Chains A and B, each alone.
Chain A
Amino acid sequence: MSATGIGASVRRKEDHRYITGQGRYTDDINRPGQAHAWFLRSPHAHATLKSIDAKAAAAMPGVLGIFTGDDLAADKVGGLICGWMIHNKDGTPMRAGAHPALAQRKVRYVGDHVAVIVAETLAQARDASEAIVVDYGVLPAVVDTASAAGAKTVVHAEAPDNTVFNWHLGNKAETEAAFKAAKHVTKLDIVNNRLVPNPMEPRAAVGDYDQGEGAFTLYTTSQNPHVARLVLSAFIGIAPENKLRVIAPDVGGGFGSKIFIYAEETVCVWAAKKVGRPVKWTSDRTEAFLSDAHGRDHVTHAELATDADGKITALRVKTTANLGAYLSTFSSSVPTYLYAPLLSGSYDIPAIYAEVDAVYTNTAPVDAYRGAGRPEATFVVERLVEVAARQLGKDPAKFRMQNYVKKFPHQTPVIMMYDAGNYGASMKKALEIIDYKGIGKRKRDSARNGKLRGIGFSSYIEACGIAPSAAVGSLGAGVGLWESAEVRVNPVGTVEVLTGSHSHGQGHETTFAQLVSGKLGIPIENVSIVHGDTDKVQMGMGTYGSRSGAVGMSAIFKALDKVIAKGKKVAAYVLEADEADIDFADGHFKVKGTDKTLDFGSCALQAYIAHKFNGQDLEPGLKEGAFYDPTNFTFPAGVHICEVEIDPDTGVTAIERWAAVDDFGVVINPMIVEGQVHGGIAQGVGQALLEGAKYNADGQLVTASFMDYCMPRADDLPSFDVGMTVTPCPSNPLGIKGCGEAGAIAAPPAVINAITDALGHEDIAMPATPQAVWRAAQKTVKRMAAE
Chain B
Amino acid sequence: MATVSMTVNGKAVTATVDPRTLLVQLLRENLRLTGTHVGCDTSQCGACVVHVDGKAVKSCTALAVSLDGASVTTIEGLATNGALHPMQEAFREHHGLQCGYCTPGMIMAAVDMVNRRGNDLDEKTIREDLDGNICRCTGYHNIVKAIAAGAEAMGGKVQVRQAAE
Residues of A whose CB lies within 8 Å of any CB of B are 11-12, 14-25, 27-28, 30, 123, 198-202, 250-253, 255, 282, 284-286, 504-507, 671-672, 675, 678-683, 705-707, 711-715, 717, 719-720, 743
Contact = CB atoms under 8 A, between A and B. Distances in A.
Given A201-B37, A251-B99, 7 more contacts: A21-B33, A24-B34, A123-B18, A123-B20, A505-B137, A681-B139, A719-B123
Given A19-B107, A675-B142, A200 B34 contact: no
A706 B35 contact: no
A715 B98 contact: no
A553 B19 CA distance: 51
Contacts of B139: 678-683, 712, 717, 720, 743
Contacts of A505: 98-100, 137
B9 to A, nearest CB: 10
Nearest to A720: B141
Interface string B80-95: 0000100011011101
Given A18-B100, A19-B91, A672-B95, A678 B35 contact: no
B144 A714 contact: yes
A16 B143 CA distance: 16
A714 B136 CA distance: 10
Contact of B134 (A24, A680, A706): A706
B134 A200 contact: yes
Contacts of A707: 42, 44
Nearest to A706: B44
A200 B45 contact: yes
Contacts of A713: 130-131, 133-134, 140
B127 to A, nearest CB: 4
Contacts of A199: 99, 101, 136
**Chain B: interface secondary structure?**
loop
A719 B144 contact: yes
Contacts of A27: 28, 34, 38
A66 B19 CA distance: 26
A163 to B, nearest CB: 33
11 contacts: A22-B35, A23-B100, A201-B99, A252-B102, A285-B40, A672-B95, A675-B137, A679-B139, A681-B139, A714-B126, A717-B127
A285 B101 CA distance: 14
A257 B34 CA distance: 23
Interface stretch (B51-59, B61-69, B71-79, B151-159): B71-79
A25 B144 contact: no
B115 interface: no
Given A16-B92, A252-B100, A707-B42, A21 B137 contact: no
B16 to A, nearest CB: 14
A19 B88 contact: yes
Interface in B24-41: 28, 32-41
Given A15-B92, A21-B76, A717 B140 contact: yes
B3 interface: no
B76 A253 contact: no
A25 B92 contact: no
Interface centre among B20, B34, B78, B84 (most CB of A within 10 A): B34
A14 B99 CA distance: 10
B128 interface: yes
Contacts of B32: 30
A250 B140 contact: no
Interface centre among A17, A198, A200 (most CB of B within 10 A): A200
A257 to B, nearest CB: 11
Nearest to A286: B41
Nearest to A507: B98
B140 A714 contact: yes
Interface centre among B79, B136, B143 (most CB of A within 10 A): B136
Nearest to B21: A123
A21 B138 contact: no
A624 B140 CA distance: 40
Given A15-B91, A507-B98, A671-B95, A21 B136 contact: no
A452 B42 CA distance: 36
Interface of B: 18, 20, 28, 32-42, 44-45, 47, 74-76, 78-79, 84, 88-89, 91-93, 95, 97-104, 107, 123, 126-128, 130-131, 133-144
B97 A19 contact: yes
B41 A705 contact: yes
Contacts of A743: 139
Given A123-B18, A679-B139, A705-B41, A20 B35 contact: yes
A204 B114 CA distance: 34
4 residue pairs, one from A and one from B, having the closest CB atoms: A21-B35, A252-B101, A18-B100, A505-B99
A310 B123 CA distance: 43
Contacts of A15: 91-92, 97, 100
A348 to B, nearest CB: 32
B92 A12 contact: yes
Contacts of A20: 35, 75-76, 78-79, 84, 88
A14 to B, nearest CB: 7
Nearest to B99: A505
A17 B79 CA distance: 12
Contacts of A255: 136
B100 A284 contact: no
Nearest to A685: B139
A25 B40 CA distance: 16
Contacts of B40: 284-285, 705-706
Given A25-B37, A284-B41, A714 B88 contact: no
B84 to A, nearest CB: 7
A253 B44 CA distance: 18
Nearest to B98: A505
A393 to B, nearest CB: 35
B122 to A, nearest CB: 12
A28 B27 CA distance: 11
B116 to A, nearest CB: 16
Contacts of B135: 200
Contacts of A14: 100
A285 B39 CA distance: 7
B37 to A, nearest CB: 7
Contacts of B137: 200, 253, 505, 675, 679
Given A123-B18, A505-B137, A706-B42, A21 B36 contact: yes
A14 B28 CA distance: 22
Contacts of B37: 25, 200-201, 252
Nearest to A251: B99
A371 to B, nearest CB: 14
B13 to A, nearest CB: 16
B128 A285 contact: no
Contacts of B143: 714
Nearest to B32: A30
A500 B92 CA distance: 26
Given A11-B92, A15-B91, A200-B99, A21 B104 contact: yes
Contact of B34 (A28, A682, A717): A28
Nearest to B103: A18
A253 B136 contact: yes
Nearest to A719: B141
Contacts of B84: 19-20
B39 A201 contact: yes
A287 to B, nearest CB: 9
Nearest to A713: B131
A19 B91 CA distance: 8
Nearest to A711: B134
A504 B78 CA distance: 24
B136 A678 contact: no
B57 to A, nearest CB: 16
Nearest to B89: A19
Interface centre among B18, B41, B45 (most CB of A within 10 A): B41
A682 B144 CA distance: 14
Contact of A678 (B20, B123, B141): B141
